[in-house]
C-alpha cells in the first residue's frame, strides 16, 4: 500500500487562539475556514484589505492592526502565514517553529508543518479530504461528492449517538448485539427521524430500542450488483453490503463491488471458475439458510437484477420454507445496461411497444420459443445467455417468419472496461457464436426499435475472413 506523507488528525482548537498573519485574500480565506470551528481567531494585519476586514467582522475574529512580531505567537495553538510575500511568510514560519507552534504557509507546502484539508462540516461529524498537496482541485471535487452524500442533519444524528453512548454501554451487551444496535440506529427509523429534523422523536425511539431485546436473528438480502461498473450499484445495495457479515457471490459480480463490504465480512464464492468446484443451486440455498440460522446477516450478490435469470425464485422459496427473513434489492439488469451502452431505445413510439426478457438456453425442442410470437408482433427481445446459441435463436425466429433484415445488436461485457458492441441484421447474428474472440457475458437485442441506432462504431457480427486474419 502506498504510504501517506502526512498523518490525518483533528486538532483541538475550541476556545484557543489561532493566529492568521496577512492582509489579503489568502488571510481572508483562512479566516473563513477557521470560522467553521470555535477557535479564537486572531488576525494580524497592519493594513487589512476590504475582504479581510469584512470576514473579520462577520466571523467575530480579533483584528490586530500591527506588523507581525514573534510576540504575537504567544499563546497561539496554530499559526497561518498568509502574507502572500515569500520572505515575510518564511520569517513567520521560522518564528513559529522556534516557538514550537505548528505552522501552515499558504501555497508553500514545503514550509508547512500541517496542511489544511477540504472540509465537509456536519458538526460534530467532519470529513477532511487531503491530497498531500498533489491535487487540491481533486480534493474539492471529492468534497462536493461527499457533501451531496451527507444530509445536513447527519450532525444531529452524531450528536444523538454521543448522548446515548453511556446508556448503550450500560444496557446493550457488548459485541454483535451492540454493533447491530448502532448499525440499526444509523440506518433505521431513528436515523430517519433525526435526519428529518425530529430530534426529540429520534431520541425517544432510540431509548425504546435500547430497552428492547437485542435483534440477533439472521437475515438474507438478495442483492442485484448491476452489470459490472461500481457506480451502477444502488445506494441501497451499497448500504446493505456494509451490514453484511457474509457476502455470497458468483462469477459475474465485479471484485470492486465485493470489496465494498465490511473488511471483516466473510466472502464466499459460489460461481463457476476454472479449477473451482462449482456450488450447485441446492448447495447455495443450504448455505444461505445455514448462515442465516447461525444469526448472520447475509448478502447474496448477483449480477444485474436478482429477479431476472438470477434464480431468485428458488432462493426465496428455500428461505421462506426455512423461516428465514429476506429482502430483495433490485439492480440494473444486463438488457438495460446493453441498451444504454449501445444507445438504442428498447421501446419506440409506434414501432416497439413491448419488451421481452428471454433466454437462449431453453431452445432444445423444435418449436418456436414461447417468446417468438412476441418478436413477430414487433416486441424488442433481450436475449440472455444467448451468445453460444445465437445461431439457434436467429434460426428459430427466421423460420417463424421474422424478417432477416430485423436489426440486432449484441453487447459483450456491458458497462465494463472491456465492453464491445456488435451490430448487424438478424440474418448475420449466427456469426456471433462463431467468433472465437468473444468470451465475456453478452446480451443480444433484436427488434425494429434498434433501427434508429447510431452504430457506426459497432463491430459486425461476422467479420470478413480476410479482415479477421488481418486483425489477428
| Residues annotated as part of the active site | 250, 272
* 228 binds ligand SAH per the rule CB under 6 A: yes
Q: Of the candidates 227, 369, 407, 447, which one interacts with ligand SAH according to CB under 6 A?
A: 227
Shortest Å distance, C-beta 282 to ligand SAH: 19
CA dist., res. 257 & res. 254, Å (int): 6
Nearer to ligand SAH, 89 or 415 (CB): 415
Residues whose CB falls within 8 Å of the CB of residue 37, separated by 6 or more in sequence, listed in order: 13, 14
Stretch that binds ligand SAH, among 34-42, 94-102, 330-338, 370-378 (CB under 6 A): 330-338
Q: Of the candidates 68, 80, 181, 309, which one interacts with ligand SAH according to CB under 6 A?
A: 309
CA dist., res. 314 & res. 317, Å (int): 5
Stretch that binds ligand SAH, among 79-87, 156-164, 262-270, 411-419 (CB under 6 A): 411-419
Q: Of the candidates 265, 298, 443, 445, which one interacts with ligand SAH according to CB under 6 A?
A: 443
Q: Give the 3-state secondary structure of residue 248.
A: strand
Instruction: Say if CB 409 and CB 416 are below 8 A apart.
Output: no
CA quadruple 264, 270, 271, 272: dihedral, nearest 10:
120
Where do runs of H (alpha helix) occur along 186-234?
Answer: 189-195, 199-211
Instruction: Say if CB 54 and CB 77 are below 8 A apart.
Output: no
* 302 binds ligand SAH per the rule CB under 6 A: yes
Q: Of the candidates 304, 372, 407, 447, which one interacts with ligand SAH according to CB under 6 A?
A: 304
Stretch that binds ligand SAH, among 14-22, 54-62, 82-90, 332-340 (CB under 6 A): 332-340
Shortest Å distance, C-beta 354 to ligand SAH: 18
CA 345, 350, 354, 357 dihedral sign is negative
Q: At what angle do helices 50-59 and 25-34 cross, to 10 degrees?
A: 10
Shortest Å distance, C-beta 235 to ligand SAH: 19
Shortest Å distance, C-beta 432 to ligand SAH: 12
CA dist., res. 223 & res. 236, Å (int): 9
Nearer to ligand SAH, 105 or 338 (CB): 338
* 420 binds ligand SAH per the rule CB under 6 A: no
DSSP 302-351: ESB-TTSSS-HHHHHHHHHHHT--EEEE----HHHHHHHHHT--SSBTTT
The binding site for ligand SAH (CB under 6 A) comprises 227-228, 252, 302-305, 308-310, 333-334, 338, 384-385, 411, 413-416, 441-443
Amino acid at each position: 500500500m502506498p504510504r501517506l506523507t502526512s498523518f490525518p488528525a483533528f486538532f483541538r482548537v475550541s476556545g484557543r487562539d489561532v493566529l492568521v498573519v496577512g492582509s489579503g485574500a489568502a488571510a481572508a480565506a483562512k479566516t473563513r475556514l477557521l470560522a467553521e470551528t470555535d477557535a479564537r481567531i486572531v488576525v494580524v494585519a497592519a493594513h487589512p484589505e476590504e475582504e479581510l476586514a469584512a470576514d473579520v467582522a462577520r466571523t467575530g475574529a480579533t483584528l490586530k492592526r500591527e506588523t507581525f512580531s514573534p510576540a504575537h505567537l504567544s499563546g497561539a495553538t496554530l499559526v497561518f502565514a498568509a502574507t502572500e510575500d515569500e520572505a515575510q511568510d518564511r520569517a513567520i514560519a521560522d518564528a513559529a517553529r522556534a516557538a514550537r507552534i505548528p505552522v501552515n504557509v499558504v501555497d508553500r507546502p514545503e514550509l508547512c508543518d500541517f496542511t489544511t484539508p477540504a472540509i465537509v462540516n456536519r458538526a460534530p461529524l467532519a470529513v477532511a479530504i487531503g491530497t498531500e498537496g498533489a491535487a487540491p482541485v481533486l480534493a474539492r471535487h471529492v468534497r462536493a461528492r461527499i457533501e451531496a452524500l451527507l444530509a445536513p442533519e447527519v450532525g444531529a444524528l452524531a450528536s444523538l449517538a454521543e448522548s446515548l453512548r453511556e446508556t448503550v454501554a450500560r444496557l446493550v451487551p457488548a459485541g454483535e448485539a451492540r454493533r447491530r444496535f448502532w448499525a440499526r440506529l444509523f440506518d433505521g427509523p431513528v436515523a430517519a427521524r433525526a435526519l428529518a429534523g425530529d430530534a426529540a422523536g429520534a431520541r425517544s425511539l432510540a431509548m425504546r430500542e435500547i430497552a428492547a431485546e437485542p435483534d440477533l436473528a439472521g437475515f438474507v438480502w438478495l442483492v442485484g450488483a448491476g452489470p459490472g461498473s461500481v457506480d451502477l450499484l444502488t445506494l441501497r445495495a451499497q448500504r446493505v453490503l456494509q451490514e453484511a457479515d457474509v457476502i455470497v457471490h458468483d462469477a459475474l459480480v465485479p471484485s470492486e463491488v465485493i470489496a465494498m463490504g465490511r473488511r471483516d465480512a466473510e466472502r464466499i464464492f459460489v460461481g463457476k471458475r476454472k479449477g473451482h468446484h462449482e456450488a450447485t443451486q441446492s448447495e447455495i440455498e443450504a448455505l444461505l439458510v445455514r448462515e442465516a440460522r447461525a444469526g448472520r446477516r447475509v448478502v447474496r450478490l448477483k449480477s444485474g437484477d436478482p429477479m431476472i435469470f438470477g434464480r431468485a425464485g428458488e432462493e426465496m422459496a428455500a428461505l421462506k420454507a426455512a423461516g428465514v427473513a429476506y429482502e430483495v434489492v433490485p439492480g440494473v439488469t444486463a438488457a438495460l445496461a446493453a441498451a444504454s451502452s449501445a444507445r438504442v431505445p428498447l421501446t419506440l413510439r409506434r414501432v416497439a411497444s413491448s419488451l421481452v426478457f428471454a433466454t437462449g438456453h431453453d431452445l432444445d425442442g423444435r418449436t418456436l420459443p414461447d417468446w417468438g410470437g412476441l418478436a413477430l408482433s414487433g416486441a424488442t427481445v433481450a436475449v440472455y445467455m444467448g451468445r453460444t446459441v445465437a445461431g439457434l435463436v436467429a434460426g428459430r425466429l427466421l423460420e417463424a417468419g421474422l424478417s432477416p433484415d430485423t436489426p440486432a445488436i449484441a453487447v459483450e461485457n456491458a458497462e465494463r472496461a472491456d465492453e464491445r458492441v456488435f451490430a448487424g441484421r438478424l440474418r448475420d447474428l449466427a456469426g456471433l457464436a462463431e467468433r472465437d474472440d468473444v468470451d465475456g457475458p453478452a446480451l443480444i437485442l433484436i427488434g425494429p426499435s434498434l433501427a434508429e441506432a447510431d452504430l457506426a462504431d459497432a463491430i459486425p457480427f461476422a467479420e470478413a475472413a480476410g479482415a479477421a486474419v488481418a486483425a489477428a
